[in-house]
Structure 1
């Protein structure tokens, strides 16, 4: 069984989605140690290819490093249909990027969400109704699929809100990047806990 795969998407893949990718990895490792890498596959892309091959934005990298993450192996990529097809959960920075994903892969509708939207709905999920959390790839995969389905069911009655979007911090100062990183952690930390059990 492959690990449960989570794809983060933003515009250029140098600020928001890399922070989300690496901060989710930090949250998962805090709960499961090095075994987290066998349980979850976390990656990111951008809707545009302007920065393909580039390192993370320096201000974003500072946030990741300050919160215990790793940046050296990161290189920006442009979103392609195969990235979506290989992912069990797609989290976009904004509703506009969510629409981009929908156009590229219409069959991903039930597993693609705006990051803030997913975090908001996740708080309403009865985690005790999901398959049990166990430190094994097949168990995490089953729990992840059930979690995504539960959040999709909740979304049917609760449309996205403007506040679900993550502001683009590119070109802004340290404090602005810090606020965006805090907002990312408000979703990725509960997500890691829901998947891995905490």
Structure 2
């Protein structure tokens, strides 16, 4: 079985999406998850930072929350990244539109980060499903059905911390973590 694949998207792929990527991995590992079950990757809608490491302030936030920043390199979002993903989480509404323009068939699996976090809190954990992939697909389908075509709100967006003080990065990292933790719990719920 292929791993459940989550794509995290922001502007330049050096602050918000790498924090989301690495925090989701850390949360999954803390629950006994593995790379065989979950693949998390990220990209930016712009190419300004391609090949660069994570912003140092973002890296500090990831490490402070138990994540690993080793080997990170920013990349530009391509259609193939969307095609290879079961769930796409973006920092902003505009980035959802960018993803859907790139791949219209991705609309049902593309969410603003806070929107998805808000929706999954209303969905019962499917611990009876036998694998992470099945739980992930069921979760995305349930979240899409729950939003019933309602658009995300500005409150669902992650503010861009680039160039801001550490406290700003910390707040954004906390907002990210408030979605990655319940997502990891839903994916790695063990059958009773």
Q: TM-score when scaled to structure 1?
A: 0.93
The number of equivalent residue pairs is: 190
The answer to whether the aligner puts 1:190 opposite 2:188 as a matched pair is no
Match of 1:65 in 2: 63
Gap regions ≥5 residues in structure 1: none
Partners of 2:12 and 2:74 within 8 A in 1: yes
What SS class does the counterpart of residue 120 from structure 1 fall into?
helix
User: Cα RMSD over matched residues?
Assistant: 1.2
- The Cα of 1:126 is off from its aligned counterpart by 2.1
Match of 1:18 in 2: 18
Gap regions ≥5 residues in structure 2: none
Moved over 3 A (4+): none
- How far apart in 2 are the matches of 1:71 and 1:162? 29
Q: TM-score when scaled to structure 2?
A: 0.96
The answer to whether the aligner puts 1:132 opposite 2:128 as a matched pair is yes
Give 1:2-13 correspondences, 5 Å limit: 2-13=2-13
The answer to whether the aligner puts 1:166 opposite 2:158 as a matched pair is yes
Partners of 1:84 and 1:105 within 8 A in 2: yes
Match of 1:98 in 2: 96
- Superposed CA deviations along residues 95-139 of structure 1, whole A, max 9, x for unmatched, are 010100000000001100000000001111122xx36255xxxx1
Match of 2:85 in 1: 87
- The Cα of 1:158 is off from its aligned counterpart by 3.8
- Superposed CA deviations along residues 44-101 of structure 1, whole A, max 9, x for unmatched, are 0000011000000010000011111111210000000000000000000000101000
